[in-house]
A = this chain, B = another copy of it.
Amino acid sequence: MADLRVAVIGTGIMGADHVDRLTRRTKGATVTVVYDYDQARAAEVAAAAGARVATDAFEAIRADDVDAVMIVSPGAFHAEQALACFEAGKPVLCEKPLATTAADAYRIVEAEAALAKPLLTLGFMRRYDPEYAALVASLRNGDLGEPILVNCKHRNASSGGNGSDRAVVFDSAVHEVDVARFVLDEEITGVRVILPKPGPNRANDIHDPMLILFTMASGRLVTDELYVNTNAGYEVRTEVLASKGIATIGLEVGRMTSHTTALTWGGGHVADFRPRFATAYDIEVQAWVDAVRRGDNIDALAATSWDGYAAAAVCEAAVEALGTNGAEVAVSLAARPSAQT
């Protein structure tokens, strides 16, 4: 079967990583077109992949030598680019967030509901991470009993000197929003944000650390402790308290090639999300290409536009909750189009 010809929109750190992945490791895919606002950067990435450079994102989406699209542009462009994919009838893997407002995300949900068949996969890669998979399996198979409470920790070595509280919510916390919904298999109905005194490492006056509390439809609690300037390393941990036991993923000790040197014992710590989730991205992108090639468009495990919209709605509520001194803000979701159910 011929390779899937993919256009990659956006060649920043993540986009370049995806072009490399598609070119060197993803079976059945060829990157044919690359677009970036920074055309020099696009040219460099395209050359390594043997692809051509498009001068316009929409031209790339519509191009005849493109069967499917990966959107890896800044979040604010996702909505228009995803809608263009729908118009062109092309399957699309859109990096998170689906959009930077809940309203934009819902436009995508509605537009997709009008299609004959859904086209959009949302890149919540943690669903493909082997550790998350094992955690979810231990819940689904009943080994751990009934889940009761979920703890998440999200730590970056550095937020890079830019950003805002809204960006931390939409770019970082959004992952735990999906983890909460995916692990517990239910919607989030309310959000609280607790803003302690920031630590001295914070950049750009953001509230860092930040504690976000999600109330699930069943009344369960999910906590998300965000600290994005640890000066230490990248770490994502999730712990599920369940009726028969407690399961934890993401402990760095669980990943180490250990060493003993002058009076210390330990191992290396990953610097950012790329090594931590490299395998998850590989599996996710392969699953997407496989699904598209066999005509399913979306892999059964993947997050969908609805997941992206629900996450955006929760993020909106969280941003509002930044100003309510810990009072809960309700999440109200628009109706889910029947085609999406």
A residues at B contact (CB < 8 Å): 24-28, 131, 134-135, 138, 144-146, 148-149, 151, 155, 157, 192, 194, 196-201, 209, 211, 213, 215, 218-221, 223, 225, 227, 230-233, 235, 241-249, 251-271, 279, 286, 290, 325-328
29 A-B residue pairings within 8 Å (CB atoms): A24-B290, A134-B268, A144-B261, A145-B200, A145-B231, A146-B199, A148-B209, A192-B326, A196-B221, A199-B242, A209-B221, A223-B225, A230-B246, A231-B243, A231-B261, A245-B259, A247-B258, A249-B257, A251-B253, A253-B253, A253-B254, A253-B258, A263-B268, A263-B271, A264-B264, A264-B269, A265-B267, A325-B328, A326-B326
Residue among A134, A192, A233, A249 facing the most chain B CB atoms (10 A cut-off): A233
Given A27-B25, A192-B326, A218-B197, A151 and B225 touching (CB < 8 A)?
A: yes
Residue among A155, A251, A255 facing the most chain B CB atoms (10 A cut-off): A251
Supplied contacts A134-B268, A223-B225, A231-B262, 20 more A-B pairs, CB within 8 Å = A26-B27, A27-B28, A131-B257, A135-B257, A138-B259, A145-B200, A194-B221, A201-B243, A223-B223, A227-B241, A232-B245, A232-B263, A246-B260, A247-B258, A247-B260, A248-B259, A254-B254, A263-B271, A266-B266, A266-B267
Smallest beta-carbon distance A290→chain B, Å: 8
Q: Is the CB of A230 within 8 A of B241?
A: yes
Q: Is the CB of B263 within 8 A of A258?
A: no
Report the 5 A-B pairs with minimum CB-CB distance, sorted nearest first.
A266-B266, A197-B219, A196-B221, A245-B261, A148-B199
Partner pick for A211 among B27, B221, B255, B261, CB 8 A cutoff: B221
Considering only CB atoms, which chain B residue lies closest to A199 in the complex?
Answer: B148
Could you say which residues of chain B place their CB within 8 Å of the CB of A325? Answer: 328
Residue among A134, A262, A290 facing the most chain B CB atoms (10 A cut-off): A262
Residue among A134, A196, A199, A215 facing the most chain B CB atoms (10 A cut-off): A196
Partner pick for A149 among B134, B225, B259, B327, CB 8 A cutoff: B225
Could you say which residues of chain B place their CB within 8 Å of the CB of A220? Answer: 196-197
Considering only CB atoms, which chain B residue lies closest to A249 in the complex?
Answer: B257
Could you say which residues of chain B place their CB within 8 Å of the CB of A290? Answer: 24
Could you say which residues of chain B place their CB within 8 Å of the CB of A131? Answer: 257
Q: Is the CB of A246 within 8 A of B266?
A: no
- So how many copies of this chain end up in the complex? 4
Given A24-B27, A148-B209, A219-B196, A245 and B260 touching (CB < 8 A)?
A: yes
In the assembled complex, the Cα of A203 lies from the Cα of B301 at a distance in Å of 37
Given A259-B247, A265-B252, A269-B264, A213 and B231 touching (CB < 8 A)?
A: no
Could you say which residues of chain B place their CB within 8 Å of the CB of A247? Answer: 257-260
In the assembled complex, the Cα of A235 lies from the Cα of B249 at a distance in Å of 17
Q: Is the CB of A260 within 8 A of B328?
A: no
Considering only CB atoms, which chain B residue lies closest to A231 in the complex?
Answer: B244
Smallest beta-carbon distance A284→chain B, Å: 13
Smallest beta-carbon distance A273→chain B, Å: 14
Given A211-B221, A260-B233, A243 and B27 touching (CB < 8 A)?
A: no
